[in-house]
Amino acid sequence: MASIGSRTGWTLATVALAFALSACGTTTIDQTKAEDLVKEATSAGTIKAESATCPGDVEAKKGETFDCKVTYTDDTTATVTVRIRSDDGDVTVTPDDIKQDQ
């Protein structure tokens, strides 16, 4: 079975985006955009991500993380740790943040 690292075939060290929603003075991560980022980050190899599921209502707090689940087209799954880089909602995913589920 291929490891996630070889599965993704990344040439970039990280994928980073800024996305957040502000409501009642609290900035939260946009769940749909987080899922899109995770799918993009895990689909660079030969086996593509079929779906990604991230939690909703994650507060954008620098230094915090949250986990998303990915299902690939071959029915294997992985957990992706998304790292929040700023209180404005900048997030990043690196190849080391992708762990194939057992």
Predicted TM-score (pTM) of the model is: 0.78
In the prediction, which pLDDT does 3 show?
Answer: 36
Domain that holds residue 34: 4-100
Positions of E strands within the chain: 15-18, 21-23, 26-28, 49-53, 65-72, 77-84, 90-93, 98-100
The model's confidence at residue 47, banded by pLDDT at 50, 70 and 90, is: confident
In the prediction, which pLDDT does 54 show?
Answer: 96
Beta bridge partners of 100: 78
In the prediction, which pLDDT does 44 show?
Answer: 77
pLDDT at 57 exceeding the cut of 50: yes
Mean pLDDT of 7-33: 60
In the prediction, which pLDDT does 24 show?
Answer: 62
Q: How many domains does the chain have?
A: 1
